[in-house]
Amino acid sequence: MASYTDIRGLRVKYLSSDPSTATEGEVWYNSTSGTLKASLLVGAWSSGGSSNSNTSSSISGTQTAALAALGYSYSPTSPVGGRTISEEYNGATWTSGGEANTSRYQNNSSGPQTATMVLGGAAGTGDSGPYTISAAAEDYNGTGWTSLTNLPVARAGGIPMVGPADTLLATGGNDNMSGEPIDTTFEYTSSSWTTGTAYPNPQNGMGAVGTQTAAFFYGGTRVNTGDPAQAETNTYNGTSFSAETALPAATRNWGGKSGTQTDCIAACGTPGPGSPNPFENTTLTWDGSAWSTSAATTAIARNGAGGNMSGTSTSALIARTGSPRLATEEYDLAVGTQTLTTS
Domains of the chain: 4-41 (no CATH), 50-327 (2.120.10.80)
Q: Which amino acid is at 266?
A: A
CB 322 within 8 A of CB 277: no
Phi, psi at 6, each rounded to 5°:
-65, -40
How big is the chain, counted in residues?
343
Within 10 A of 161 (CB to CB), how many other CB atoms are there? 28
On whether the CB atoms of residues 306 and 59 are closer than 8 A, the answer is no
DSSP characters over 250-284 = S-EES-EEEEETTEEEEEEEEE-TT-S-SSEEEEE
By three-state DSSP, how is residue 6 classified? helix
CA distance 100 to 98: 6
Residues 310, 119, 133, 51, CA torsion sign:
positive
Amino acid at residue number 258:
S
- In angstroms, the CA 292 to CA 338 distance is 17
Whether 282 and 267 have beta carbons less than 8 Å apart is answered as yes
For each of the chain's 343 residues, which pLDDT tens digit applies?
665 555 555 578 888 888 888 777 889 999 999 899 888 888 999 999 999 988 888 999 999 999 999 988 877 666 667 889 999 999 999 999 999 999 888 889 999 999 999 999 887 655 555 678 899 999 999 999 999 999 998 888 778 899 998 899 999 888 776 667 888 999 999 899 999 999 998 888 888 999 999 999 998 887 665 566 788 899 999 999 999 999 886 566 767 789 999 999 999 888 766 666 678 888 999 999 999 988 899 999 887 666 889 999 999 999 988 777 889 999 999 887 878 877 5
Cis preceding linkage at 324, omega within 30: yes
